[in-house]
Amino acid sequence: MATILHINSSVRNAGSISRQLTAEFLSKWQAIQPADVIVERDLAANPVPHLTEQMMGAFFTPAEQRSPEQAQTVQLSDDLVAELLSADTIVIGAPMYNFSVSSTLKAWIDHVARAGLTFKYTETGPVGMVQGKKVYIFTSRGGVYSQGPAKSMDFHETYLRAVLGFIGLTDITFIHTEGLAMGDAAVADALTQTRQAIGELVAA
């Protein structure tokens, strides 16, 4: 039995392509692996707060030296880190907003990228501590950014690969659904390709 952490970061509920596709992927997954446990983290329904000076101060204060207020401040971040570390597989729905991730997903990343918990500094440089996990990231994009003239504006996949890799998550598969603002035919084609990819991933 494995644990899958499912993170949705779309600000939309109704009509969200990324939510629809992660749901389809996990439905097919559970049909094959019914004993696996799926932990849901909806960053729109329950947003993670953006970092504050007080949070940063609490993060960098040793646990045994934190005040009661600091301990309370850091509790959510500690819970998010524990949730990440407990998962065997991470599935992220990550629509593109203004060439990158949503602010809610960025906030989640800021809470789980914690020195001493998910990465550490060594004499030879930083080392990610979140090892041995598979990540699937389902994106939705109005244009086409994986290739062609707009590729230079893709700070979406590049950022996620870099920051997740920094904490040790390097086994990442991106499933891009692109061209969603380019007409009905483009949408139909993109969804067909993504659903084919889902079938292949689940069957692998």
| Numbered residues of the known binding site for FMN | 10, 16-18, 96-99, 140-143
Burial 154-171 (b: 16+ CB within 10 A, else e): bebbebbbebbebbbbee
Distance from C-alpha of 85 to C-alpha of 104, rounded to nearest angstrom: 20
Q: Are 112 and 135 in contact (CB under 8 A)?
A: no
Angle between helices 17-32 and 184-203 in degrees, nearest 10: 30
Annotated binding site: 10, 16-18, 96-99, 140-143
Q: For residue 180, what are its two tokens?
A: 């969603």
**Whether the Cβ atoms of residue 91 and residue 25 lie closer than 8 Å to each other:** yes
Question: Is residue 7 classed as helix, strand or coil in its secondary structure?
Answer: strand
